[in-house]
Amino acid sequence: MSEVKLASEIRAEFGKGAARRIRRENKVPGVVYGHGGDPIHITLPGHELQLALRTPNVLLSLDLDGGTQLVIPKAVQRDALKGFIEHVDLLLVKLGEKVTVELPIVAEGELAAGSNLLEYVLNTLAVETEATHIPESVVISIAGLDAGDAVHAKDIKLPAGTTLAVDEDAIVLQVLAAQAEEAAAEGDESAEA
């Protein structure tokens, strides 16, 4: 995963009014924390941050206090109606450090029977991985799965250096039998009666 470089400024103003002034300038207030240090309140460029956060679990390189800090987004608050970023919490990371992140799940392949339904029990999978080598997603093959089959977390092949951060027996995906045909068959039986 590549790093996205962002310029940041340390902010001294706090509160609702200050945050509104920052947002009017097309910037986003945020806080950087981790490694036992005091939180650092910062301001980030709004458009560049919006583009960077399109990638899940992106690694950000911030110009901070004359140095460069690596961070990952921990919490992003968005406006409910307009969708723009209102505030971001960033977690400091170091090279080689392990972090727990949520990876999106991607299913590949075709089910055994075309009328069955694939249900995502989990949309993301919690894993522990190195902060500088976070995979983009977890790919699960569903080829040949039939009604009643399920994919458990322990059945997923994870990238090297990545371990599960959820229960191994947790169901991630399951295949359900289509019920539309059964409902139509019941309707025919009641019509015959």
Based on the domain organization, do 134 and 62 belong to the same domain? no
Do the domain assignments include residue 42?
A: yes
Structural domain span for residue 109: 99-181
Distance CA 11, CA 14 (A): 8
Q: What is the pLDDT of residue 190?
A: 59
Lay out the sheet containing 59-64: strands in order across.
Answer: 3-7, 59-64, 67-78, 85-93, 27-33, 40-45, 9-10
pTM of the model: 0.68
* End position of a domain, from candidates 40, 75, 93: 93
Shared domain check, 125 and 88: no
Measured in whole angstroms, the distance separating CA 154 from the mean position of its chain's CA atoms is 20
- pLDDT digits 0-9 by tens, 74-123: 888 888 888 888 889 888 888 878 888 888 888 888 877 667 888 889 88
Q: Which residue has the higher pLDDT, 132 or 105?
A: 105
Q: Provide the domain count of the chain.
A: 2
Q: In the Cβ-directed half-sphere of 123, how many Cα atoms lie within 13 Å?
A: 1
> Does residue 192 lie within any of the structural domains?
no
* Domain limit, last residue, from 32, 62, 93: 93
> Which of 54, 75, 93 is the last residue in one of the domains?
93
Let me know if 138 is exposed, middle or buried by CB neighbors in 10 A (0-12, 13-18, 19+): buried
Strand pairing category for 117-120 and 171-176: antiparallel
Give φ, ψ of 184 to 5 degrees.
-65, -40
Match 């089959």 to its residue by tokens. 149
Using the 8-state DSSP alphabet, how is residue 107 labeled? E
At residue 35 the predicted structure's pLDDT band, cuts being 50, 70 and 90, is: confident
